[in-house]
Chains A and B, each alone.
Chain A
């Protein structure tokens, strides 16, 4: 019933608007083409300048309401992110100036040069000087932006520092898997056909001795404040994207083609909670490449902690090998484990 009613109301509004505009069209015919054109020009010319003024007021209001909710207000949480923010402000300044000048000219000209019977338009078809000016000036401004941009770009995409910790991040529909290389600091080999969702979610090759101490976690990744971290990204199924809003970086996770990114976090999660005044603050990994119906819920958490806290956490982690083969866990069944490990090593040799 209410549906029918609202449809009726909407149709009614359309009919009313249509009838009014139709009537105004008849009026303008009665007035004569010249007179009604003059009137229309006046009204629209006035609206042009009004739109310009209201537009800038709107921008101010919008900025006031929402700037505080953006990442810019919060500040970046990595040294890379600080560079991104700095560049954002430089670009904003340059494009902002151009924006204001051109929009003001556009609407002001439209208002000022509306048709006037007593004025003749100025025949002005060409001016090499003017055209050179507005080729050269933007070219210079762009050069500055390109230089800034590329300097940062090459820094962001450079090799990670030697002392960086390494974490492997694998995307799957719809979650993230993290692998740490363990004590030997080397990842064991992996092959996708070994994937077993229960015990070996990234397809580690257990024959590889480096794999024995690899640690797998899901949902939450721990990294250390002030220490560069290099992420090796991959995907099990479709393309995902590791979006790190607070660190101002993102990189695709592509099946079959590993990609990398690195950054240095500068605030722990706890420090960010104080900084933002939000007790629920967490660093979130968002999937930024559409990956299926659960795309919007593909969330990971990053805990940025101090070195000590990280070490405490790391000690508690059990190598995935022992989850896959509980019988070989030395803490559980010491004798049997030593036996098979020897066998596996021989097999590999």
Chain B
């Protein structure tokens, strides 16, 4: 008997006796706060992520207000922001703080913790057939480290000198010198502490996900029978575990430079009003290497979970197997490998050795190949399907559309000879918002709409879901498509005001348009939140085990599974999860044994 089976037997035995163990002595505190149930932790990640998404989105509304209406003043702004909006207009300091916090929060707190934190926690045990994570306690710690990081980041918003305002990439010397910018004082220390806590959270989570996927699959669940969601979450976790520590090391050196007089990143600096600093011999570029060694894999940490969920949702709702399972897996794998080999494409214009640059061009454009395979495979999955447009499916299709649009501009920017023109322009803003920001958001929405019935035992309101989707996708394109044109005009990103620039001031009307659409899209997300929280308590009840007629294991659990997921034995798996429309059967769950007259099995 394998170790795995022994573990299951033991667990199964326990749950028989206690009827879904731990259920008895749960207090409010252990069930909803310091919960060790992966499903509850997933919800904690999701809702914390939502809070941050609202705050981060609100920040973007505020700075879009400035960009769209640079000459107007809004007295109500001063009433909420005080000195940061003197006379009803956001100050440059506040603008840069908003941009920076928006970036940090959306990238790390929403699209990393909120996305893979939520769905890795929720789906891994349920889809591989495990009762919980390998270490539920570490899993709980992972959330609470994230929560603490959130509190620290939040507190930096209320510091006298303001939150950090040097961009989410936090390049030194700007981030290292207290006197270079007010935001680089206490705000930056809090930013670093928050990020350090976040790295710990992500490591605790990631190690757990990897251990769980490798060791706790149910009987019959071989690695190649895993749903693609799990594969994607697995690679995500590996990327995080290998790259987040590098960011931490970079941040530790930064703390030393900031507070203890070292010169890792500092050399030959004269600060206005302070004079020449004594630091010599450091390299400001070193930080960029360390940062982007995380920063680029981070892009895939954000994207891969969305890709995995989209693959699953498209397959279920097309009533077709995902096309090219092994190719999908192979492309996930090669994306994960390449993610570590392309970081310097963010640094083409730092004075990088041109030969080194050319190597990174080659490796960067290589990513287009596995990405292309994924897109074509999704398209082929739709082809001759029998598509059900659930809101989850709509968002999955929207994801593919956005991933194509944003991915293709990556081919522009990955080519150093074009990047030398387009770098740090609005073209970049458009590119990464579409491919990483909005697309991953769509993946997340798809996941929430698809698994909400499993999370809460109720449905979300469909009509609101449709409304949410159509406004959001149309709005996303209306916001970010025209930004390509601004980028091709050379308009630099992170500018507070363009009116003094002869070369960039011709877009005032377009900026107003973009800002207006951004506000409408933000308002639409509030509609989603209303739908979400209303439906938790008042949504239509789920009455069948498997509402989407899906093959994966999570739909074999009770409608509202307790801690331990399955009341009895964990089901055994006999096939891959994508037997849709096979041999005349609409779907064949993974738990169904292979029939004698069945055609070739996976």
Task: Give chain A's interface residues, CB within 8 Å of chain B.
Answer: 3, 10, 14, 17-18, 20-22, 24-25, 28-29, 37, 40-41, 43-45, 47-48, 51, 55, 58-59, 62-63, 66-67, 69-72, 81, 83-84, 87-88, 91, 94-95, 98-99, 102-103, 105-107, 109-110, 113-116, 119-127, 130-131, 134-135, 138-139, 142, 145-146, 148-150, 152-154, 156-158, 172-173, 192-193, 195, 197, 203, 233, 236-239, 241, 243, 245-246, 248-252, 254-260, 278, 280-282, 284, 286-297, 299
Name 30 interchain pairs, CB-CB below 8 A, sorted by A. A14-B526, A18-B534, A25-B462, A29-B540, A51-B470, A67-B485, A69-B485, A69-B507, A71-B490, A84-B417, A84-B418, A102-B404, A109-B382, A113-B384, A124-B321, A131-B324, A146-B362, A146-B365, A153-B415, A153-B416, A238-B174, A238-B180, A239-B284, A241-B423, A243-B424, A245-B421, A250-B421, A290-B174, A293-B181, A296-B497
The answer to whether B503 and A246 have CB atoms under 8 Å apart is yes
B354 — which chain A residues lie within 8 A by C-beta? Answer: 153-154, 157-158
Q: How far is the CA of A305 from the CA of B497 in the complex (A)?
A: 29
| B470 CB to nearest A CB, Å | 6
Q: Does B64 touch A at the CB level, under 8 Å?
A: no
Q: How far is the CA of A252 from the CA of B76 in the complex (A)?
A: 39
Q: Which 7 residue pairs across A and B have the least CB separation, nearest first?
A: A256-B267, A245-B490, A259-B351, A157-B354, A152-B417, A44-B389, A149-B415
Q: Which residue of B lies closest to A203 (CB)?
A: B270
The answer to whether A255 and B180 have CB atoms under 8 Å apart is no
A81 — which chain B residues lie within 8 A by C-beta? Answer: 421
A69 — which chain B residues lie within 8 A by C-beta? Answer: 485, 489, 506-507
Q: How far is the CA of A161 from the CA of B45 in the complex (A)?
A: 58
A158 — which chain B residues lie within 8 A by C-beta? Answer: 354
| B552 CB to nearest A CB, Å | 16
Q: How far is the CA of A325 from the CA of B425 in the complex (A)?
A: 43
A138-B166 contact, Cβ under 8 Å, with A55-B477, A248-B420, A296-B495:
no
What 0/1 pattern do residues 381 to 396 of B give for CB contact below 8 A with A? 0111111110000100
Q: How far is the CA of A150 from the CA of B359 in the complex (A)?
A: 10
The answer to whether B417 and A153 have CB atoms under 8 Å apart is yes
The answer to whether A192 and B269 have CB atoms under 8 Å apart is yes
Q: Which residue of B lies closest to A259 (CB)?
A: B351
Interface residues of B in 448-495 (CB under 8 A from A): 461-464, 466-467, 470, 473-474, 477-478, 481-482, 485-486, 488-490, 492, 494-495
The answer to whether A292 and B180 have CB atoms under 8 Å apart is yes
The answer to whether A154 and B386 have CB atoms under 8 Å apart is no
**Given B172, B173, B270, which contacts A195 in the complex, CB threshold below 8 Å?**
B270
**Given B272, B365, B470, which contacts A173 in the complex, CB threshold below 8 Å?**
B272
What 0/1 pattern do residues 257 to 272 of B give for CB contact below 8 A with A? 0000000001111111
Q: Which residue of B lies closest to A6 (CB)?
A: B76
A70 — which chain B residues lie within 8 A by C-beta? Answer: 485, 488-489
**Given B173, B350, B409, B500, which contacts A259 in the complex, CB threshold below 8 Å?**
B350
**Given B93, B417, B466, which contacts A87 in the complex, CB threshold below 8 Å?**
B417
The answer to whether A252 and B93 have CB atoms under 8 Å apart is no
Q: How far is the CA of A148 from the CA of B365 in the complex (A)?
A: 13
The answer to whether A257 and B285 have CB atoms under 8 Å apart is yes
Q: How far is the CA of A11 from the CA of B59 in the complex (A)?
A: 20
The answer to whether A237 and B361 have CB atoms under 8 Å apart is no
B582 — which chain A residues lie within 8 A by C-beta? Answer: 123
Please indicate which of the listed interface residues A103, A109, A173 has the most CB atoms of chain B within 10 Å of its own CB: A109
B526 — which chain A residues lie within 8 A by C-beta? Answer: 14
Q: Does B343 touch A at the CB level, under 8 Å?
A: no
The answer to whether B284 and A295 have CB atoms under 8 Å apart is no
A156-B463 contact, Cβ under 8 Å, with A246-B503, A286-B492:
no
Size category of the binding interface on chain B: 35 or more
The answer to whether A110 and B382 have CB atoms under 8 Å apart is yes
B358 — which chain A residues lie within 8 A by C-beta? Answer: 150, 153-154
B389 — which chain A residues lie within 8 A by C-beta? Answer: 40-41, 44-45, 110, 114
**Given A51, A98, A150, which contacts B408 in the complex, CB threshold below 8 Å?**
A98
Q: Does B27 touch A at the CB level, under 8 Å?
A: no
The answer to whether A149 and B416 have CB atoms under 8 Å apart is yes
Q: Does B186 touch A at the CB level, under 8 Å?
A: no
Q: How far is the CA of A135 from the CA of B325 in the complex (A)?
A: 15
The answer to whether B530 and A14 have CB atoms under 8 Å apart is yes
The answer to whether B276 and A115 have CB atoms under 8 Å apart is no
| A302 CB to nearest B CB, Å | 11
| B289 CB to nearest A CB, Å | 13
| B430 CB to nearest A CB, Å | 12
Q: Does B578 touch A at the CB level, under 8 Å?
A: yes
The answer to whether B284 and A256 have CB atoms under 8 Å apart is yes
A256 — which chain B residues lie within 8 A by C-beta? Answer: 266-269, 280-284
Q: How far is the CA of A63 from the CA of B481 in the complex (A)?
A: 10
A280 — which chain B residues lie within 8 A by C-beta? Answer: 502
Q: How far is the CA of A167 from the CA of B105 in the complex (A)?
A: 41
Instruction: For the A-B complex with A41-B388, A193-B276 known, give 8 more contacts whose Cβ atoms are closer than 8 Å.
Output: A17-B527, A18-B530, A40-B462, A51-B474, A66-B485, A116-B386, A121-B386, A126-B323
Please indicate which of the listed interface residues A43, A62, A252 has the most CB atoms of chain B within 10 Å of its own CB: A252
Q: How far is the CA of A250 from the CA of B324 in the complex (A)?
A: 42
The answer to whether B177 and A238 have CB atoms under 8 Å apart is yes
Q: Does B349 touch A at the CB level, under 8 Å?
A: yes
Q: Which residue of A lies closest to B492 (CB)?
A: A288
The answer to whether B282 and A252 have CB atoms under 8 Å apart is no
Q: How far is the CA of A246 from the CA of B502 in the complex (A)?
A: 12
Question: How many contacts A-B (CB < 8 Å)?
Answer: 376
Surface stretch bound by A, among B142-150, B200-208, B369-377, B564-572: B369-377
| B183 CB to nearest A CB, Å | 8
A25 — which chain B residues lie within 8 A by C-beta? Answer: 461-463, 540
The answer to whether A71 and B351 have CB atoms under 8 Å apart is no
Q: Which residue of B lies closest to A295 (CB)?
A: B494
Q: Does B405 touch A at the CB level, under 8 Å?
A: yes
Interface residues of B in 290-337 (CB under 8 A from A): 318-327
| A110 CB to nearest B CB, Å | 6
Q: How far is the CA of A291 from the CA of B506 in the complex (A)?
A: 24
Q: How far is the CA of A202 from the CA of B482 in the complex (A)?
A: 40
Please indicate which of the listed interface residues A173, A193, A286 has the most CB atoms of chain B within 10 Å of its own CB: A286
What 0/1 pattern do residues 516 to 541 of B give for CB contact below 8 A with A? 00000001001100100010000010
A246 — which chain B residues lie within 8 A by C-beta? Answer: 490, 503
**Given B281, B488, B523, B584, which contacts A120 in the complex, CB threshold below 8 Å?**
B584
Please indicate which of the listed interface residues A105, A126, A243, A293 has the most CB atoms of chain B within 10 Å of its own CB: A293
**Given A113, A241, A278, which contacts B424 in the complex, CB threshold below 8 Å?**
A241
The answer to whether A134 and B376 have CB atoms under 8 Å apart is yes
A239-B510 contact, Cβ under 8 Å, with A69-B485, A252-B350, A256-B268:
no
The answer to whether B272 and A197 have CB atoms under 8 Å apart is yes
Q: How far is the CA of A254 from the CA of B523 in the complex (A)?
A: 41
B424 — which chain A residues lie within 8 A by C-beta? Answer: 241, 243, 250, 288-289
| A269 CB to nearest B CB, Å | 11
A257-B351 contact, Cβ under 8 Å, with A17-B527, A71-B489:
yes
Q: Which residue of B lies closest to A117 (CB)?
A: B386
Q: How far is the CA of A3 from the CA of B461 in the complex (A)?
A: 31
The answer to whether B387 and A145 have CB atoms under 8 Å apart is no
Q: How far is the CA of A99 from the CA of B409 in the complex (A)?
A: 10
Q: How far is the CA of A88 from the CA of B380 in the complex (A)?
A: 30
A195 — which chain B residues lie within 8 A by C-beta? Answer: 270, 276
A294 — which chain B residues lie within 8 A by C-beta? Answer: 92
The answer to whether A21 and B404 have CB atoms under 8 Å apart is no
Q: Does B250 touch A at the CB level, under 8 Å?
A: no
Q: How far is the CA of A246 from the CA of B270 in the complex (A)?
A: 30
Q: Which residue of A lies closest to B464 (CB)?
A: A21
A149-B417 contact, Cβ under 8 Å, with A114-B387, A255-B267:
yes
Q: How far is the CA of A179 from the CA of B470 in the complex (A)?
A: 55
| B162 CB to nearest A CB, Å | 10
Q: Does B501 touch A at the CB level, under 8 Å?
A: yes
Q: How far is the CA of A172 from the CA of B418 in the complex (A)?
A: 27
The answer to whether A289 and B171 have CB atoms under 8 Å apart is yes
A110-B397 contact, Cβ under 8 Å, with A124-B321, A286-B501:
yes
